[in-house]
Chain A
Amino acid sequence: MNSVNVSRRLPVMICIIMALMLAIVPMPALASPYRPDWVALTLIYWSISMPRTYSVGTAWLVGIVLDVAHGTLLGQHALALAFITYLTARFHLQLRVFPLLQMTATVFALLSIYQFILFWINGIAGTYADTAAYWGPVVSGTLLWPLIQYVFSGIRYRLTRSA
């Protein structure tokens, strides 16, 4: 039972760690405003497909690590990630049957909410940032969603078949 759990969890953990790494990989100055929210996208996918294993708790912990990695206020990304995974885990049954286009639109909405929470906390804490800086990741993340869903469903297919 335990080894089954490990073999089921390990690939997802690796996905999350890869997402955290992509979040701190340096990018050219022109492209960095469009850095997709890799962590948010990963958590959206896995909280829809395995909401019992990965939901608000995982998202919150990953968010705290992201806060430390980014040097933002502790709890900022944690709150934003916990909120969007709450939404996806709460409505995972509806979201699973969405066709790709509709799902992409939903991801757009989720990423907008995510950025809005970051924007809101930045505003309260007095961290100034250009409003346009919040839209870049939303746009690039939405455009990347079909690819991410394709890659992750491949991983998940293997996971469920091996389990």
Chain B
Amino acid sequence: MVADSTDSEHRSTKSPALGLRFLVLAALSIVLLVVDHRENHLDAVRKVIGATVYPLRILVDAPVSSWRWVRENTAGRNDLLLEISRLNAERLLTHARLQRFTALESENARLRAMLDATAKVRDQVQVAEIMSVSSNPFRHIVVIDKGSRDGVYNGQAMIDADGVVGQVIEAGLLLSNGVLISDPDHALPVQVNRNGLRTIAVGSGEFDHLDLPFLPNNADIEEGDLLVTSGLGGAFPPGYPVGVVDSVTRVPQEPFADVTATPAARLNQVREIMLIRTALEAPGVEAGDDVDAEEAPEPGTAPAARPEQPEAEPGGDAEAEPGGEVENE
């Protein structure tokens, strides 16, 4: 390499402050690392620097999103008609299913009222998009295009049409970071739909399977069992599908069975996700930090207020205006 004469002439060959500067910065990094690892005091700092990263992310995402825009806008009439008929068919199906669901729900509400059970969950859903920006190479973290300005908060659950995707770990002002359930550091309280057996699903670091490491050998679990969120951790509302058990290996001398599951959501392909905002209707019980208290009907009147028109179903609204808030009861 050629020496850069303009840069090093009329100055000493070696900067005496270089080592000192490095030591100061290294010490600063270590302090930052320790503080960041232990506490969440640096969230504000992250938000400020995140705002400077925002244009970079937009720039990186621009080719992909503009290509999508071009494709959507130049889609042929036939394609659009096909799409419409497909969506109509899907809508009819969901509609039919929802009719049964409404009946079941009102029955459920009546039974709960009889049992004086609390904690009827209302979920609000907000549609967000995963940006084509890759993130931490060591973890399964995605960037989503909604931030605290849109009401996103830390710990909010992310789902797609098929099941649980992950949760928000860092709500920035305009963009947020979410961790997928396949992240090796992520653990999700689940239960087996068939018999209510509770356990924890831990991410494996691979998109296509989850580990269930805490099931004893005699646990009643078999291949094909559907896992749903149990709602015990507080972050995820109960009842959303997580995955299907795909292998159960019982080794007699080991304390725990080796159980893995396939996630229901297509974690590495999903682009549109829904953020769930949970509000508990129980008196005096609040979940999350953003609860729409005034929207929740009183527990006593809940059964009467329940019967709702199928027209107000979530699917229809979500397609009409993605990004808007949709009620999913």
CA gap between A125 and B133 in the complex, in Å: 24
Tell me how many residue pairs across A and B have CB atoms closer than 8 Å. 159
The answer to whether A56 and B25 touch across the interface, beta carbons within 8 angstroms, is: yes
Q: Is the CB of A32 within 8 A of B137?
A: yes
Please report which residues of chain A, range 59-91, place their CB below 8 angstroms from some CB of chain B when the two chains form the complex. 60, 63-65, 68-76, 78-79, 82-83, 86, 89-90
Chain A positions 130 through 155: 1 when the CB is less than 8 Å from some CB of chain B, otherwise 0: 10010001000000000001000100
Interface flags for A14-27 (1: CB within 8 Å of B; 0: not) read 00010011001111
CB distance from B253 to the nearest CB of A (A): 26
Chain B residues whose C-beta falls within 8 Å of the C-beta of A97 in the assembled complex: 1
Q: Mark A91-131, 1 if CB is under 8 A from B, else 0.
A: 00101111000010000000000000000011001111110
Main secondary structure of the interface of B (DSSP, over half): helix
Q: How far is the CB of B63 from chain A (nearest CB, A)?
A: 9
Instruction: Collect the chain A residues with CB atoms within 8 Å of residue B14's CB.
Output: 90
Residues of B near A149 (CB, < 8 A) are 1
Interface size on A, residues (CB 8 A): 61
Q: Which A residues lie within 8 Å of B136 (CB)?
A: 70-72
Given A129-B138, A160-B6, do A49 and B1 touch, yes or no (CB 8 Å)? Answer: yes
Look across to chain A and name the residue whose beta carbon is closest to the beta carbon of B5: A160
Central interface residue in A27, A75, A128, A129, by most chain B CB within 10 Å: A75
A24-B26 in contact given A49-B1, A68-B50, A71-B141 (Cβ < 8 Å): no
Known: A74-B42, A79-B26, A160-B6. A27 touches B19 (CB 8 A): no
Inter-subunit contact B205/A130 (CB<8 Å): yes
- Cβ-defined contact, A52 with B8, below 8 A: yes
Interface of A is mostly: helix
B211 to chain A, nearest CB (A): 12
Q: Whole-angstrom distance between the alpha carbons of A57 and B7 in the complex?
A: 17
What residue in chain B is nearest A50 (Cβ atoms)? B7
Are B1's CB and A24's CB within 8 A?
no
Q: List the B side residues contacting A32 at CB < 8 Å.
A: 134, 137
A24-49 residues with Cβ-Cβ distance < 8 A to B are 24-27, 29, 32-33, 35, 48-49
Contact status B21-A75, CB under 8 Å: no
Using a CB–CB cutoff of 8 Å, the interface residues on chain A facing chain B are 17, 20-21, 24-27, 29, 32-33, 35, 48-53, 55-57, 60, 63-65, 68-76, 78-79, 82-83, 86, 89-90, 93, 95-98, 103, 121-122, 125-130, 133, 137, 149, 153, 156, 160, 163
Interface residues of B (CB under 8 A from A): 1-8, 11, 13-15, 18-19, 21-22, 25-26, 28-33, 35-37, 42, 45-46, 49-50, 52-53, 56-57, 59-60, 64, 132-139, 141, 169-170, 177, 184-185, 205, 268
4 closest residue pairs by CB, A with B: A75-B32, A79-B29, A75-B29, A129-B138
